[in-house]
Amino acid sequence: MYDLSNFCFNHDCNPEQLLKNEMGKVFQVTGSMNQLAAIFYEEEPLEDQHLAWFDMYNEVGLSIGKVSRYTLGYDPRSMNIHEDGTDENDQSDWRDRE
């Protein structure tokens, strides 16, 4: 939660921007949501199939993480996030940008 709140404090996380981020990656978001639906509709592993349970919950976490990154517009390859809310490409705070 701290990382998320810190990210949103330093970046534009208003609902309109989040929706724009999702619409910009609509196919990726749809694919991740379909992956979650596929996990939900799969047959549940037996109680003693611990690796199958682990894999299932791992896939859930990966899908939720992808949707979260797409929604927040977070791209770890293109952003170098600093504590002061700046990145490598734009040294001004997001609140000062138009």
8-34: average pLDDT: 88
91 pLDDT exceeds 70?
no
The two tokens of residue 51 are 């690796």
pLDDT higher for 24 or 82? Answer: 24
